[in-house]
Structure 1
Amino acid sequence: MADGEGRAPVTVHPTHAHWGSYQVLVRDGTVVGVRPDPADPAPSPVIRNTPVAQHHATRVARPAVRRRWLESGPGPDDRRGHPDDEYVAVDWETALDLLAAELDRVRREHGGTAVYGGSYGWASAGRLHHSQGQLHRFLNTIGGYTRSRATYSHAAVEVLFPHVVGPRGGYELLRRPPTWRAIAEHTDLLVSFGGLRVSNMWTASGGRAAHTAEPDLRAAAGRGVRMVSVSPLRDDTPADVAAEWLPISPGTDTAVLLALIHTLFADGLADTGFLARYTVGADELRDYVMGDVDGVPKSPEWAAELSGLPADGLRDLARRMAAGRTLVNVGWSVQRARYGEQPLWAGLALAACLGQIGLPGGGFATGYGSMGSYGGGATPEGLPTFPQGRNPVDSVIPVARVTDMLLNPGAPFDFDGRRLRYPDIRLVYWSGGNPFHHHQDLNRLSRAFGRPETVVVHETHWTATARHADIVLPSTTALERDDFTAGQGDLRLRAMPRVVAPHGEARDEYDVFSELAARMGVGAEFTEGRTSAEWLVHLYEEWRGRLRAAGTEVPPPFEEFWAAGSIPIPGRVEDSALFGDFRADPDGCPLGTPSGRIELYSATIAGFGYPDCPGRPTWLDPEERLGSPRSRTWPLLLVANQPTGRLHSQQDMGEHSRSEKIADRAPIRMHPADAAARGLADGDVVRVANDRGSCLAGVRTSTDLRPGVVQLATGAWFDPSGAPGLSCVHGNPNVLTPDAGTSALSHGSTGQLALVEVERFEGTPPPVRVFDPPRITPAAER
């Protein structure tokens, strides 16, 4: 593509990310633009972030070692993460020698348990060059590590549902729900707690060849599927699907779900035949919701006091749900709050009382509107996967308890029926991902990162996590290496050829870990004698062999795939009724629960004795809600949802992400009445605060919020460079969110809700410094 001005031509390169397939425009080795894939019916606008992010000043260009660690040696250091900390640039040989020696020291003196392989996050969409898998394979090869279990996205789902519907049922709820086309064909009413947010559908782990969820959602509405969005945000569901909006007070979803169940029992609409044949615990559930257990009927009037939704409206909704084919969806955001297991369990119980579980387009789901792959079919034979090996260390923590682990070595904790102890972590190793995005109470997390003796981070950019590291190794981006990708349930496996040369001295993680493994005497075990290029061929051909053995259509050899750029994925399952086999034959196809049935009361969970997660769906009153005693001090309820400008915190410096900001800060949306009561207007810079921390943000008023609710999306890079009393000058809401698990059962993230106050920031706001690289001294100047 010539520009007519004598400059080098622009070349066009297809590429792929978690936010989908798109094209990259390159001139003279520099990414100068992007454009959507012509075959994508609903491309994500976040592709616009790529050109700026690819060549940004915050790219890590050379290996760097924190000066205090380099000069004083390993040890705890509260200065980690200080915005004015200094690094020393070193060559790769020096960096790898230092790191190999430190890994060997910690392994010899303290064992693999003392190494936390925390890598968690999205990183590259590639099937080979996925940072988390690379790191875990390496740590397994050198003797093991302390690992994390579950995800920040939906830990409560992952831990609760294997007890309630069995391990396979829990997997299918997450990975094999009915497609949007099945909903369009069979569903009369879709009631979604947490809405059906379109921007969440832009993203899928591994990306998608084409974004079909949003068009399919609209098509379902066009075919007559009625939708109800139970959410504090009107725009959690697109306006053109004409969803009924129930502006619930955040954190009260369980109360509303129990009130709907109450109406079904009170009106004789509960399907008692289904409950008797397919569930256990229905009597316990009924006694609880009718008030026989505690003298408090969980009636619509009771729920109205908590939720702010009219009692008559809730009663009418329950009756409409019983009158046709109804799908109850509880989005992942709803369970990211204290007692997050309860709305999930109550939603499943409501679907059971309706008697439609196992019917096409009916029953229960969790995840529609939460990610683009949900409701997109399934790939039964899996995808090519880089093997991680076996971890010989039996040391595990819930993923969202990393701060507790670092601050409390040796302390006991309960988790999913087990009594465990936090390990004494001496070395934290992170490759890909950014806990200073995912985690809560970032002031506390920053203190915790000061406790280990050494922190190692592989990164593409100088994120807050990299700035808390002692050794920082520069990684290539997905545009700088060969790979291939596909998301779960995707239509196509797609090649990802290298687009531009690595930035500075950046290297692929595979090559870095190969050299480290060689230094530690396990090079052959890690590489198995293959280069990364040879691994790509091996993984692909091994996948072809699995497909052949399963009797599925076999795709062409690797060379043909790579030349073609993409191939259809064989064996995709388009539509299925979730729990259809169980409904057809509950005795021959029992669930993997102790009873073989859906457990509306779980004797197993009850036996754990957790006050914060009893043996049946229960209303437990959270601190972080409107009307709680805590709200008398902090009267606004902050919803920290997923951003529309980027994927999590990735490429926050990009064009699309920064176009949404106000005075360089993340925007906080307020209802006009709440803004006026505080003398605030659009564009004002405000201090958002509670007793955990504070951040600056820019005001944007909107009637799409329930009064009393403010919304500040996650993902603004954590910037603690302001004046005392400001935790973040850039607008990261996780300086405000509580670092407490959902319950002792799953310890899921509770980062969705936090009570706050908002006030005008007086004076000149401090500048945002997070997109300036840290001070780095050349090694010769040490």
Structure 2
Amino acid sequence: MQRRDFLKAAAATAAGASSLNATSLISDNLMSDTPAKMSASHFGAIKGLVKNGKFEGVLDASEIDFYPVSLTQGVVARTYDQTRIARPSVRKGYLEKGYQSDKSMRGKDEWVEISWEQAFKLVADELKRVNKEYGGSAIYGGSYGWYSVGSVNNPQTLLGRMLNIIGGYTTRTLNYSQHAISAITPHVAGSDEGNSLVTAWPVILKNTEVVVIWGADPINTNQIAWGVADHESYIYFRKLKEQMKKRGIKVITIDPVYNNTANYLNSEHIFVNPTTDVAMMMAICYEMMNAGVADEKFLKKYTSGSEQFIAYLKGESEDKVVKNAAWAAKICGVSETDIINLAKIFGSKRTMLMGGWGPQRAHHGEQFHWMMITLAAFIGQIGLPGGGYGFGYHYSDGGCPSPAAPNGSALALASGSATTSTAFPGLGAIGIVPSTEGEWKDRSNIAIPVSRILDCINNPGKEVDFNCKKITYPTIKMAYWAGGNPFHHAPDTNLMAKTFEKLDTFIVQDCFWTASARMADIVLPATTEQERDDITKSHTNKFIIAMHKIAEPYEQAKNDYQIYCGILKEFGDKEYMAFSEGKSEMDWIKQFYNASKKKGDDAKLGMPSFEEFWAKGYVEFKVPPHAHEYVTMAEYRKNPIINRLGTPSGKFEILSKKIAKAAYDDCKAHPTWMEPMEWLGDVEKTKKYPLN
């Protein structure tokens, strides 16, 4: 397989920058002092080369990475990057006056380096003070970020574990990438469709006639994973390109820009105005009805509320607007002809709708995926081989056949048994709740939506609507952020800086002087994934991977696990032992592997001993034959009575009575076109701000 065929478009810009920075480090790594050491990152597994005690280069871990990407070369450069945090540091004003210091000096004040002993005491004392004066809920510990793939040194989980032990905290729910999808799709399809299994690629290559990649750029985004990417998806995109020629599969990309995927596949591309996709999908549904190709039988048997939605499309409900192609063309910038043609194609060909996550990161973002499921219902091919929808093809090798997990998952059921010789035994990780007895066992912590942290800090005690419920914001006096960069995620950085001035204390634990670290009061330097031992798995469950320590910690950086242990020792032996359970990091690594091995032995997997695994660097798990034939919603289609969806009606809810009961102004009972706060159709704003 020619690697550059994929990466010349997808990764040249992003990875090129990293590779250039790493050039001086990898140019002379022809010889290494030790054998290459296996490790892993969000970019995939790697083999690290060490020369003269320094991490000098990366080799492709081709045994467990089907298509290594050049992003991994940046792992070397970041290890010794000038933005690494060398020592525990405290803002000068905070060191002198503590939480009573001038908060407006954040980002401007001098930094004073202190010892770890001072840092542990300083952090512990402030945690004790806030807990005593305001209660645990005044500490925000829902730190969101993409840092570690390890089972032991996951900074966010370990932070929650520590805070849960010492008195509780306020955490977050959902995430930026899937916030709207994860909130809306359980009401529509009975499960979080942003994280659900999607129809296997071999099924698509064999059965699908039309692939629609809508609001996604999988050639670009499959380079990374929340876990460890193994990049098998690139093999399937190559096969898709081949089948476009051999079998005549039609690929249509719909996106405001001509993206890398469209370029690689040379697909038909339709430009749509940003945030107007919902109107376009509604018009396709209308034109399908108008052409007599909408699947009325499917709508009647497998959905709830289609009659009311059809009335809305026909202009027979409150707004009296007919949602036809002419109407949508003025909104989305797609011609009437193209919309009508899409309706005819979708109604006559086996069609797979591949929706991305990007469109939900907008005003009324939940409408996109609700409407795409509705469009798939109008097409009527959900549960058929190669038809329906899927929201995971652009990410973490979604759609690639994977080993079954012995947990009753969809793939386990598809393989015919949860304990077959091809099952994946799972891999444990340190959890937020310790196994030791104590008040932390049954502690209930407040959770707020991840995107509402600023609203929460600015409006303590405010009651807000969220997901058909009411939640009340706690009073937040302190934030502890580990392995994340909120000043990068926030859409309004100036508002964030101003809002965080209301906090008594802001602590950041990270490897780098990020924007968030520079705006903190206390900064604790953490090691990178390549500076410590750990254990992980590929996102597809095909491999358990040893994460060997490749490089010595940068300056005085410590492992996240060590940092929390140091803080908790300031509280006492009870808290420290609850957190560590008396185990070292290697003890945890061995425990997680051996627990997997026990399950594997029960399933006759033939897993090696820990020592053999650690020496080799990985264990591979076979993919069951039936995983290649997995079809999303196939069981539901076969018998919707026995295999009900998790919605109140047991069907796809085009109209949700639960959402209707909530009586939201900005989210009606069924998919609805609502003008976004910012879009090209706003004439006045477009005149003032012509770039979109």
Q: TM bucket by the smaller chain? A: 0.7 to 0.9
Q: Deviations over 1:718-758 (max 9, x none)?
A: xxxxxxxxxxxxxxxxxxxxxxxxxxxxxxxxxxxxxxxxx
Q: How does 1:385-464 map to 2 (within 5 A)?
A: 385-389=429-433, 392-464=443-515
CA distance in 1, matches of 2:684, 2:98: 44
Q: Does 1:246 align with 2:283?
A: no
Shift of 1:175: 3.4
Q: Which residue of 584, 595, 600 corresponds with 2:649?
A: 595
Distance 1:622 1:85, change over 3 A: same
What pairs with 1:127-142 in structure 2 (closer than 5 Å)?
A: 127-142=151-166
Alignment of 1:130-169 (within 5 A): 130-167=154-191
Whether 2:124 is the aligned partner of 1:100: answer yes
The change in CA–CA distance for 1:37 and 1:305 in structure 2 (over 3 A counts) is same
Alignment match, 1:324: 349
Matches within 5 A, 1:173-212: 174-208=195-229, 210-212=230-232
The reply to whether residue 489 of structure 1 matches residue 540 of structure 2 is yes
Larger CA deviation: 309-318 vs 538-547? 538-547
Q: Do the aligned partners of residues 4 and 557 (structure 1) sit closer, same or farther apart at CA in structure 2, a change above 3 Å counting?
A: closer
Cα distance in 1 for partners of 2:552, 2:94 equals 31
Q: Show the 5 A alignment for 1:354-365.
A: 354-365=379-390
> In the alignment, does 2:242 pair up with 1:218?
no
Deviation, structure 1 residue 495: 0.7
Does structure 2 conserve the Cα–Cα contact (< 8 Å) formed by 1:184 and 1:221? Answer: no
> Which string of whole-angstrom CA distances, capped at 9 and with x for unpartnered residues, describes residues 10-50 of structure 1?
76333211011223332222223334334444322222322
Distance 1:611 1:374, change over 3 A: farther
* TM score, norm. by length of structure 2: 0.87
Map 1:443-522; keep pairs closer than 5 Å.
Answer: 443-521=494-572, 522=575
1:136 shift after superposition? 1.1
| 1:366 counterpart = 2:391 | yes
**SS of the counterpart of 2:218?**
coil
- For the 8 Å contact 1:258–1:289, the answer to whether it is kept is yes
Do the aligned residues in 1 keep the contact of 2:531 with 2:553 (CA within 8 Å)?
yes
Q: 1:290-309 residue pairs with structure 2 within 5 A?
A: 290-293=314-317, 294-309=319-334
C-alpha separation in 2, matches of 1:343 and 1:142: 41
In structure 1, what is the equivalent of residue 139 of structure 2? 115
- The one-letter amino acid of 2:227's match is G
Q: Is residue 562 of structure 2 the alignment partner of residue 541 of structure 1?
A: no
Matched position secondary structure for 1:223? helix
% identical equivalent positions:
34
TM-score (structure 1 length as normaliser): 0.77
Residue matched to 1:728: none
Q: Output one character per residue of 1:39-77: Cα deviation in whole Å (capped at 9) or x when no partner.
A: 444322222322221112211111111111111111474
Flag structure 1 segments of 5+ consecutive residues without an equivalent.
639-782
Q: What does residue 564 of structure 1 align with?
A: 616
Name 2:677's counterpart in structure 1: 623
Contact 1:14 1:496 in 2 (8 A): yes
Shift of 1:488: 2.9
Match for residue 26 of structure 1? 50
Q: Which amino acid aligns with 1:520?
A: F
Q: What code does the residue aligned with 1:220 have? A: L
Give the CA deviation at 1:407: 1.9
State the Cα distance separating 1:158 from its structure 2 match. 0.7
Mapped partners of 2:351, 2:35: distance in 1: 50
Q: Report the alpha carbon displacement of residue 265 of structure 1 after superposing the two structures with TM.
A: 1.2
Aligned to 1:726: none
User: Of Structure 1 and Structure 2, which has the larger fraction of its residues in helix?
Assistant: 2
Alpha-carbon offset, residue 637 of structure 1: 4.4
CA contact (8 A) 1:124 1:131 kept: yes
Instruction: Indicate conservation of the 8 Å contact 2:89/2:113, yes or no.
Output: yes
Distance, in Å, in 2 between the alignment partners of 1:74 and 1:295 is: 57
Indicate how the Cα distance of structure 1 residues 180 and 603 shifts in structure 2: closer, same or farther if over 3 A, else same: same
Give the 3-state SS of the residue equivalent to 2:111 in structure 1.
Answer: strand
Ranges of 4+ aligned residues in structure 1 off by more than 6 Å: 2-8
Structure 1 stretch displaced more, 333-342 or 31-40: 31-40
In structure 2, the residue corresponding to 1:465 is in which secondary structure?
A: helix
Given that 1:116 and 1:146 are in contact with CA atoms closer than 8 Å, whether structure 2 keeps it comes out as yes
Which residue of the partner structure matches residue 278 of structure 1?
A: 302
Which residue is 2:417 aligned to?
none
Match of 1:675 in 2: none
Is the alpha carbon distance of 1:554 and 1:444 closer, same or farther for their aligned partners in structure 2, counting shifts above 3 Å? farther
Bigger mean CA deviation after superposition, 139-148 or 177-186: 177-186
The match for 2:413 is none
Contact 1:176 1:375 in 2 (8 A): no
CA contact (8 A) 1:624 1:637 kept: no
Aligned to 1:664: none
Count of matched residue positions in the alignment of Structure 1 and Structure 2: 632
Residue aligned with 1:555, SS = coil
1:3–1:301 Cα change, 3 Å:
closer
Superposed displacement of residue 238, structure 1? 4.1
Contact (CA 8 Å) 1:77, 1:451: kept in 2 or not?
no
- Give yes or no for the alignment of 1:527 onto 2:585: no
Shift of 1:579: 1.1
Please say if residues 125 and 485 of structure 1, whose CA atoms lie closer than 8 Å, have aligned partners that are also in contact.
yes
SS at match of 1:198: helix
Change (3 A) 1:218 1:548: same
Matched, 1:578 2:644: no
Contact 1:193/1:331 (<8 A) preserved: yes
C-alpha distance in 2 between matches for 1:497 and 1:137: 24
Q: Does 1:53 align with 2:78?
A: yes
Distance in 1 separating the partners of 2:688 and 2:216 = 26
> Partner residue of 1:641?
none
Query: Is contact 1:275-1:353 (8 Å) kept?
Result: yes
Alpha carbons of structure 1 residues 315 and 375: separation in structure 2 relative to 1, 3 Å: farther
Note the C-alpha offset of 1:450: 1.3
Q: Aligned partners of 1:377 and 1:94: how far apart in 2?
A: 48
Instruction: Decide which moves more: 569-578 or 259-268.
Output: 569-578
- Structure 1 window deviating more from structure 2 (21-30 vs 266-275): it is 21-30
| Aligned-pair CA distance for 1:212 | 1.4
Look up the match of 2:22.
none
Q: Structure 1 residue 205: deviation in Å?
A: 1.4
Say if 2:131 and 2:138, in contact at 8 Å, map to a contact too: yes
2: CA distance, partners of 1:369 / 1:433: 23
Show CA shifts across 1:676-721 (max 9, x none): xxxxxxxxxxxxxxxxxxxxxxxxxxxxxxxxxxxxxxxxxxxxxx
Greater alpha carbon shift after TM alignment, 386-395 vs 193-202: 386-395
For residues 626 and 24 of structure 1, the distance between their equivalents in structure 2, rounded to whole angstroms, comes to 48
Q: Which runs of no fewer than 5 residues in structure 2 stay unpaired?
A: 1-25, 407-425, 434-440
C-alpha separation in 2, matches of 1:305 and 1:632 = 15
Letter in structure 1 aligned against 2:119? A
1:383 corresponds to: 427
In the TM superposition, residue 345 of structure 1 has moved relative to its aligned partner by 0.7
- Tell me the CA shift for residue 630 of structure 1: 4.6
Cα shift readout 1:233-267 (whole Å, capped 9, x = no counterpart): 11242423121100111110000110111011111
Q: Over residues 267-293 of structure 1, what are the superposed CA-to-partner deviations in whole Å (9 max), with x where a residue is unaligned?
A: 111111111111101101111112111
Contact 2:253/2:262 (<8 A) preserved: no
In structure 2, the CA distance between the partners of 1:81 and 1:260, relative to structure 1 (3 Å rule), is farther
Please say if residues 119 and 429 of structure 1, whose CA atoms lie closer than 8 Å, have aligned partners that are also in contact. Answer: yes
Task: Sort the Cα spacing of 1:634 and 1:37 in 2 relative to 1 into closer, same or farther, 3 A.
Answer: farther
* Structure 2 counterpart of 1:673: none
Structure 1 counterpart SS, 2:285: helix
Q: In the alignment, which residue of structure 2 is the partner of 1:722?
A: none
Answer with 479-488 or 23-32: which moved more: 23-32
CA–CA separation in structure 1 for the residues paired with 2:316 and 2:557 = 65
